[in-house]
Amino acid sequence: MKFSEILRQFGEAASNHSLISNPEEDPEITGVAAIDQATIGTLSYVESAKFGSFVGNTNATALILPQDEKLQVLAQERGIIWIATPDPRLLFAKAIALFYQPYRPIPEIHPTAVIDSTAKIGSDVYIGPHAVIQQGVEIGNSAIIHPNVVIYPDAKIGDRTILHANCTIHERTRIGADCVIHSAAVIGAEGFGFVPTRSGWLKMEQSGYTVLEDGVVVGCNSAIDRPAVGETRVGSNTVIDNLVQIGHGCQIGTGCAIAGQAGMAGGVQLGNRVILAGQTGIANQVKMGDGAIASAQSGIHSDVAPGEIVSGSPAMPYKLYLKVCAVYNRLPDMYQSLKQLQRKLNNSND
């Protein structure tokens, strides 16, 4: 693909580029690559001036740069063609899509799939080998059900949603349009509901619903549980990484991002655009407001205000956390100073 064709595909987002001053420099671009692994013919990117040193060393033929004239001049001096944009990473993501499209099977129903006669299957649907679709299931148009997927009774899958191999969709689950459920994820299984009695734990039946709104992505081996009553809900365009646990009755807002190994107890409420970094843990019934952020390994036991950034376990405001870390690193010296003061105090008492 010629560089000029890539520019046309990007449209206004790539209005500032090296072809303006050097229209004859229009090489063939054969793919995309990380800047430190790029080879001749590839397109890469630099996210900010912080990583500008890579421009002087990369073998890339073309670069997506921030709007930084120094980097543009350096690229020009090295014979690298470039595009300048306010958000290079976003444009690079679009560039990847020009050279790679995920595997998408042609619509068909494999003869080994087991489909109950009461299931309703939309048009242009793919259902792979050994998939099991039980009674009352509804599957929307252009959905993709990969091999070994199991869909329990009374589940509904929206248009163009993709269920990857070996994921399981339990009863009373509602998955919207354009969702992606990755392999071995479990949606709508029974929540962890048990009541203590003198004779042991009494199981509380989980009769509620699990709802994933449109555009939700769920990573491999993640679990989103069904509640005893009411619903567990994940808002539209929320993205969930691998190995995430979302407990029964949680309410997740729109546009959230939840990284790997995060876990939420029952009844947690996340506002819109909340970000949870890896291994964040949230206690029962805690609320996080719109735009709140929890850094990696945060342990959250109380509510977090909208827009607040928290860190540590127990979680605290980020600026306070940085002060605590600074003191923590000085504890050995402080301990030695304390011992010296105790010796002086003991000597003076003697």
The CA distance from 261 to 154, in Å, is 29
Burial of 289 (0-12, 13-18, 19+ CB in 10 A): middle
Place of tokens 């900010």: 48
Residue with tokens 């719109």: 290
Please count the other Cβ atoms lying within 10 Å of the Cβ belonging to residue 296: 14
Which candidate in 164, 182, 248, 301 is catalytic? 248
The residue type found at 92 is: F
Q: Which single residue is written with the structure tokens 């980097």?
A: 71
CA–chain centroid gap for 160, Å, is 19
Helix (H) or strand (E) holding 77: helix 69-77
Do 225 and 232 form a contact (C-beta atoms < 8 A)?
A: yes
Distance CA(284)–CA(96), nearest Å, equals 40
Q: Are 207 and 188 in contact (CB under 8 A)?
A: no
Is 248 a residue of the active site? yes
Kindly list the catalytic residues.
Answer: 248
